[in-house]
Chain A
Amino acid sequence: MNTDALKDLLYRLADDQLILGHRNSEWNGLGPILEEDIAFSSMAQDKLGHSLQLYGLLHQLGEAEPDTVAFTRNAPQFHCCQLVELPIGDYAFSLIRHFLFDHAELLRFELLATSSYEPLAQVARKLKGELKYHVLHANTWVKQLGTSTEEAIGMLQKALNDTLPYALGIFETTAQEAAIIAEGIFPGEDALKARWQESITKVLAQTSLELPDLTTLTPVFGGRGGAHTEHLQPLLDEMAEVFRLDPTADW
């Protein structure tokens, strides 16, 4: 097994979970209705659990303890896509980000369930069952609001147009892409993107929202290589505040 290729993929996956998990948690107490407050907080908890599983796999491959990896790196050492680090904005943006990200996520872990690296395949088989609920949640609200008032449809359409270039950044490849595919670890970002496009198109077709022609958009790349927006470092500083004060603190 090519462990460099494997670690490269695992860091991207784990960092996406950790950062979006943290962003989701920022809806705690602020959700537009109680059920949404609970839903985003639950998805935050799920995503932190998923990041822990993936950092655990990295630890087995010789990387530092999950807490150390999560709390001691700075933005340039993170490999998440820029989509996940953007501030929560309004509910329309957070819902569209969740919809675009979790469709890719569910398909990604379905593909990883047959990965040649068995420990990753085991984690993927676990996570894909949980991610179904995330996609169900996103679809429910996109369909409900996307067929409701002109104002709601307008807000979602704007959020969709603004967010899609970042969502395409999910599928940014790294120098390890060929090795990852050749080793049978994962079928690759392009294969995932094709499935994702089909999957979001099916749901959006049931709404008044229009999916722009993706080929006319410029994907926002950089995150996988450590180039981030100005929003990531403040998030990390806040997330790691307790750990940096006292790494042995228990809370």
Chain B
Amino acid sequence: MDKATVLDWLLEVKDPEIPTISLVDLGVIRDVRIADTGHVTVRMTPTFSGCPAMDYMRRDVERVLREHGVADFTVEMSLEEAWSSNWVTERGREALRAHRLSPPPMHQGIVDLDILEYAECPNCGSHNTTLRSPFGPTLCRALHYCNDCRQGFEQFKPV
């Protein structure tokens, strides 16, 4: 068992509210360490600190480790580095689109108004869109409207 194997197993663990994206591709799994004793430590960080799905994600990670025969493990929730939406992988961005969610735009570390208002319509790909509300059905989603295909859509918020 090595780190890559564990990360591979963890690809099975999806966001409970966006079942197309894995926690690895969401950037929520920060690190996997395997000690000489065989003890596995998985370090996670929350997308949004009030996200009620984080507890479920943690339990799912623990379940997958157990299912692969790992009994000696620690799953820790750390704020050492604040989660950034830039950490969503390219495969993760595709998974969000597959769920008809606009992926968070990449930024240079400073999330200003231009970044917050920018979105790509997951239905027609247009960038001619308007931010309707920075709050949506979950803490990580904002509501936008596409001026081209005239449909409302949700975006995974940039942070």
Contacts and interface: CB of A to CB of B under 8 A. Distances in A.
Interface of A: 35, 38-39, 41-43, 45-50, 52-53, 122-123, 125-127, 129-130, 132-133, 136-137, 140
Given A133-B142, A136-B134, 6 more contacts: A35-B133, A45-B52, A49-B139, A122-B79, A123-B49, A127-B49
Contacts of A123: 49, 79
A53 B143 contact: no
B80 interface: yes
Contact of B82 (A46, A47, A50, A125): A125
Nearest to A47: B50
A129 to B, nearest CB: 5
Contact of A49 (B48, B83, B134): B48
A132 B116 contact: yes
Interface string B106-144: 000001010010000000000000001111110100110
Given A39-B133, A46-B139, A126 B116 contact: no
A132 B135 contact: no
A188 B134 CA distance: 30
A133 B135 contact: yes
B61 to A, nearest CB: 20
A46 B111 contact: no
6 contacts: A42-B139, A45-B139, A46-B48, A46-B50, A126-B49, A132-B116
Contacts of A126: 46, 49, 79, 82-83
Interface string B38-75: 00000000101111100000000000000000000000
B82 A122 contact: yes
Nearest to A123: B79
Contact of B159 (A53, A130, A136): A130
B157 interface: yes
A122 B82 CA distance: 7
A41 B139 CA distance: 10
B50 A50 contact: yes
